[in-house]
Copies of this chain bind each other. A is one copy, B any other.
Amino acid sequence: MSESTGSPPGGGTPTVLVLDAPPPAPPPRLGALTGRARVLHADAESVARLLPEADVLLVWDFLSDAVRHAWPGEGARPRWVHTASAGVDRLLCPELVASDTVVTNARGVFDQPIAEYVAALVLALAKDLPRTLDLQRERVWRHRESQRVAGTRACVVGSGPIGRAIARTLKALGIATALVGRTPRTGVYGADDLDRLLARADWVVCAAPLTDATRGMFDERRFGMMQPSARFINVGRGQLVVEDDLLAALSKRWIAGAALDVFEREPLAPDSPLWTAPDLLVSPHMSGDTVGWRDQLGAQFVELYGRWEAGRSLPNVVDKERGYVPGH
């Protein structure tokens, strides 16, 4: 989706405020804006003070909640906010949603990396690789039978570009894959079909945006309807899952295993029971972050900035009411 962002400022050099990620890790590629923008850097402390003077906000620290707390409401504020992430859940507050500020996301950068990551998890679980690594550590030679993935069934929840890339990759491995979105369309099942598809899936993959409609959608009821042989994989947002319900489902063997790359609270606390839950693979929110990703994210912002300063329409515009970039 692409739409006009109104116009860049009439005169003078626009101010771009960058909310940096800690430890101070500013985006690469912003050198391209030299002479075209005044670039200021903020952290969670200073962002509230600097926001009113910014024309553009680049949310580089996409794990931060700082913007939603610092957003100036009716006061002077950026007309355009770009986040270096696919999800915008941490960013949107009612005042930002209500405002005429345009929000764009990093649509496209993470699709293929996350699809590969999900394929890696599916294959690792099917081939029992975690157990193989455990046995290697113990120097124990123990042959086991593993599973074919071709001919199994996956249900991918979330029909944006990431979900679609996951579905394409799983299909390429011979997995019969159903894609579920909010509303049915060609190649995509609607929310009404979800429970029926979950009940027959060998692999349930969550790549949905976090919105009021999806928060906590994977709960006791839904884990209870999955097959005992099913595995659940979450690469969306932690809050899509009721973590206690997943823990119970795993310990009661309602499902055969799970892999989480995202969590209700990140980083995951050292004393979280998730680290040691049976048949649960924990990874630190890294599914989309392949070598070169920061560079790609920086380049994407520079490209969008060029469009914005020329008064052209921006791609990847978030529907702030829905909480994601609507697409075909």
Q: How far is the CA of A284 from the CA of B127 in the complex (A)?
A: 12
Q: Which of A5-13, A45-53, A139-147, A213-221 contacts B (4 or more CB under 8 A)?
A: A139-147
Name the interface residues of A137-166: CB closer than 8 Å to any CB of B. Answer: 139-150
For A146, list chain B residues within 8 Å (CB).
113, 117, 286, 289-291
For A117, give its contact among B113, B127, B130 (CB under 8 Å).
Answer: B127
Q: How many copies does the complex hold?
A: 2
Q: How far is the CA of A266 from the CA of B141 in the complex (A)?
A: 9
Q: Are A116 and B126 in contact (CB under 8 A)?
A: yes
Whether, in the assembled complex, A281 has its beta carbon less than 8 Å from a beta carbon of chain B, the answer is: yes
Chain A, interface residues (CB within 8 Å), range: 35 or more
Residues 114-137 of A, flagged 1 when their CB comes within 8 A of B and 0 if not, give: 001101100110110110110110
Whether, in the assembled complex, A33 has its beta carbon less than 8 Å from a beta carbon of chain B, the answer is: no
Q: Are A119 and B285 in contact (CB under 8 A)?
A: no
Whether, in the assembled complex, A112 has its beta carbon less than 8 Å from a beta carbon of chain B, the answer is: yes
Distance in Å: Cβ of A21 to nearest Cβ of chain B: 11
Q: Which of A70-78, A191-199, A267-275 contacts B (4 or more CB under 8 A)?
A: A267-275
Q: Are A148 and B282 in contact (CB under 8 A)?
A: no
Q: Beyond A124-B123, A149-B116, is A139–B275 a contact (Cβ under 8 Å)?
A: yes
Distance in Å: Cβ of A145 to nearest Cβ of chain B: 5
Q: Beyond A141-B267, A145-B289, A172-B173, is A129–B120 a contact (Cβ under 8 Å)?
A: yes
For A270, list chain B residues within 8 Å (CB).
139-140
Whether, in the assembled complex, A169 has its beta carbon less than 8 Å from a beta carbon of chain B, the answer is: yes
Q: How far is the CA of A169 from the CA of B129 in the complex (A)?
A: 19
For A145, list chain B residues within 8 Å (CB).
286, 289-291, 293
Name the interface residues of A221-244: CB closer than 8 Å to any CB of B. Answer: none
Whether, in the assembled complex, A99 has its beta carbon less than 8 Å from a beta carbon of chain B, the answer is: no
Q: Beyond A148-B290, A267-B141, A286-B144, is A126–B120 a contact (Cβ under 8 Å)?
A: yes
For A4, list chain B residues within 8 Å (CB).
none
Whether, in the assembled complex, A283 has its beta carbon less than 8 Å from a beta carbon of chain B, the answer is: yes
Q: Which residue of B lies closest to A280 (CB)?
A: B136
Q: How far is the CA of A146 from the CA of B290 in the complex (A)?
A: 5
For A127, list chain B residues within 8 Å (CB).
116-117, 120
Q: Are A143 and B285 in contact (CB under 8 A)?
A: yes
For A272, list chain B residues within 8 Å (CB).
139
Name the interface residues of A254-269: CB closer than 8 Å to any CB of B. Answer: 266-268
- Offer 17 A-B interface pairs, CB within 8 angstroms, sorted by A: A112-B148, A112-B150, A116-B123, A116-B127, A116-B149, A119-B123, A123-B123, A123-B124, A135-B284, A141-B268, A143-B285, A145-B290, A145-B293, A147-B290, A147-B291, A148-B291, A172-B172
